[in-house]
Amino acid sequence: MTPWTIGLEAARRSSVHPLKSLTQGKNCRSITAQNYLYHMKSLSSLLSCCFVLLLAQSLHADESAAIAKVEEYGGQVLGIAQNTDGVRVLIPPKTFEGRILTDDDLAVLKEINGIVELDLKNAGISDAGVAHLSGLSGLERLHLEKTKISDEGLKSLSDITGLKYLNLYGTGVTDAGLESLKGLKALENLYLWQTKVTFEAAQKYHEGQIAAGNDQLEINLGWDKEILSPARLASLKDQRAKLEAEAEAATAGTEVAVVDDPDFKTHILPILQNNCVKCHGEEKQKDDLRLDTYEWVLKGGEHGAVVVAEDLIESSLFQRITLPADDDDIMPPKDGPLSDNEIALIKNWIANGAKAEAEVAPPQPEVVETKPEGSSVFVEYVLPVLKSSCVDCHGPDKQKAGLRLDTIAAVLKGSKEGPVVKGGSPDESSLYQRIILPADDDDIMPPKGDPLSKAQTDLIKLWIVSGAK
Ligand code: HEC
Ligand code: HEC
């Protein structure tokens, strides 16, 4: 053995599932130390104590042997959380020595208690291997991606009713295989990328699950082919409605923009229609003045012209809109005065000759309708969030940390430290990690203002999970 492999061996040995050894130790100690005297009083209970000890030991011996076997394969048995007994088992495709693992090697799994997660991805196992999983009732997460299993193998999973996550990416399963998954009512994530399952069949299966009361299921057949759960759809809809409402609020009540050479029809007529025509239009003509067409405006009222080209002093129309607000002659008499921008537009229009049409502008370069780059999930859901919450500091004006978040290319390029998203892995995407920190964490993004909502962070997670495209 080279020093390198010895080191590896030692590392593997020490990783023998710590929770398991702990429970084992505790069982023996609790009987010997705490209850020893009590048990001594009765021979029968002493005997039964020995029996329990023996039983426990033999069980643990089998389990330890199984764990040792998995480690020998080059696999791992890891505790998943401090206060549970559940374990996560990883089985590699090949042992350290290079032997390819076979279906029979999985027989040891039955000896290991509390397997919650099992990762067999890329392993050369087939349907006969999966048959060893039948009966692993606590299993919640199962990785079978890129294994050789087929529809037949899925039958062995039909009794693992607590299964929440099943990854069949890159396997040979087909529409018919979904039949065997009908009883998995706890299933939340089903990955079917690059299998022979059709979108239609997946949709039908999804509908069946919803009808059976499982409204959590999401099926993934590729980054742009996702079947979302009703709960997620509702939250996307909410999110969308909210973004639309925000956009509307942002445009409502905005001032008209001032331009140097206003056009009567485009700029002036709307102001007159909104503020003057109810008294100076077709129905009423106060002072015989109509302000609803260019010709009427120039014709003037009872006392002659109200607009004199290039002469603001002689133009009573301009004079009457610029009087102090409490002047009896101000126009409009109520609901006024006009806004500064509206007055500026009328002023510019008269000063520029009160023309019917503004000078014809030089032809504009043809505007090419460019669709923002990126997947539709990015464009429709992620980009609006980045624009509203991040682009102030990570956009064209400022690039904090050398990071821009205003286009898909910029997001993928990352910061001066490197990438901030990794497709498929929210855990390794700092962009996601930094938006889900507790609100009072110094590193949370955005650093000021409200943290993103759960719906928004979920959208970003969904986008990353589906490949960050
Ligand atoms: C609520 C009704 C009302 C509205 C709205 C109104 N006006 Fe008048 N306007 C009058 C009345 C009444 C007179 C005649 C009495 C006077 O001169 O004050 C008048 C007179 C005028 C005159 C004088 C006409 C002349 O022959 O000298 C001008 C100019 C004028 N209005 C412009 C405007 C403009 C511009 C607006 C919109 C910004 C406007 N008015 C909105 C009621 C209105
Ligand atoms: C008020 C300004 C501001 C806003 C708004 C803001 N950031 Fe930042 N961001 C910073 C600053 C400053 C840094 C560099 C210091 C740091 O890493 O905390 C940074 C760093 C980052 C980094 C780390 C980059 C790296 O690799 O070092 C990420 C990722 C990030 N921001 C994402 C976001 C996201 C996503 C949003 C919107 C939800 C956002 N930021 C909104 C100011 C901002």
pLDDT in tens, 327-354: 899 999 987 789 989 999 999 999 999 9
Q: What is the per-residue pLDDT for 253?
A: 52
pLDDT in tens, 23-50: 333 333 333 333 333 334 344 444 444 4
Q: What is the per-residue pLDDT for 152?
A: 96
The answer on pLDDT for 236 being more than 90 is no
pLDDT band at 98 (very low <50, low <70, confident <90, very high): confident
Percent of the chain with pLDDT over 70: 81
Give the closest ligand to the alpha carbon of residue 401: 2
The pTM of this model reads 0.42
Instruction: Round the average pLDDT of the chain to a whole number and report it.
Output: 82
- Could you tell me which residues come within 8 angstroms of residue 120 by beta carbon, excluding any fewer than 6 positions away? 91, 106, 129, 142, 143, 144, 147
pLDDT in tens, 208-231: 999 999 989 999 987 667 888 887
The answer on pLDDT for 53 being more than 50 is no
Q: What is the per-residue pLDDT for 60?
A: 64
Helix then strand then coil, in percent of the chain rounded to 5, is 45, 10, 45
Cβ–Cβ < 8 Å for 163, 191: no
Q: What is the per-residue pLDDT for 82?
A: 67
Percent of the chain with pLDDT over 90: 54
Residue closest by Cα to atom 8 of ligand 1 = 331
Give the closest ligand to the alpha carbon of residue 410: 2
Q: What is the per-residue pLDDT for 342?
A: 93
* Ligand 2 centroid, distance to 236 Cα (angstroms): 25
pLDDT band at 359 (very low <50, low <70, confident <90, very high): low
Length of the chain (residues): 469
Q: What is the per-residue pLDDT for 249?
A: 65
pLDDT average, residue stretch 126-135: 93
Residue closest by Cα to atom 14 of ligand 2 = 401
User: What does the alpha-carbon distance between residue 311 and residue 61 come to, in Å, rounded to a whole number?
Assistant: 104
- Could you tell me which residues come within 8 angstroms of residue 208 by beta carbon, excluding any fewer than 6 positions away? 182
* Ligand 2 centroid, distance to 418 Cα (angstroms): 13
pLDDT in tens, 181-199: 999 999 999 999 999 999 9
Counting from 1 in the atom list of ligand 2, the atom nearest the Cα of 417 is: 26
Q: What is the per-residue pLDDT for 103?
A: 93
Q: What is the per-residue pLDDT for 371?
A: 59
Residue closest by Cα to atom 10 of ligand 1 = 286
User: What does the alpha-carbon distance between residue 446 and residue 216 come to, in Å, rounded to a whole number?
Assistant: 30
Q: Categorise residue 131: left if φ over 0, alpha if ψ from -120 to 50, beta otherwise.
A: alpha
Across 2-6, 433-437, 443-447, 450-454, least confident range = 2-6
Residues with CB under 6 A from ligand 1: 275-276, 278-280, 286-287, 289, 301-303, 306, 316-317, 320-321, 329, 331-334, 338
* Ligand 1 centroid, distance to 286 Cα (angstroms): 6
The answer on pLDDT for 361 being more than 80 is no
Counting from 1 in the atom list of ligand 2, the atom nearest the Cα of 398 is: 2
Q: Is 227 helix (H, G, I), strand (E, B) or coil?
A: strand
Element (H, E) at 200: helix 199-211
User: What does the alpha-carbon distance between residue 57 and residue 32 come to, in Å, rounded to a whole number?
Assistant: 14
Q: What is the per-residue pLDDT for 363?
A: 53
Binding site membership of 452 for ligand 2 (Cβ less than 6 Å): yes
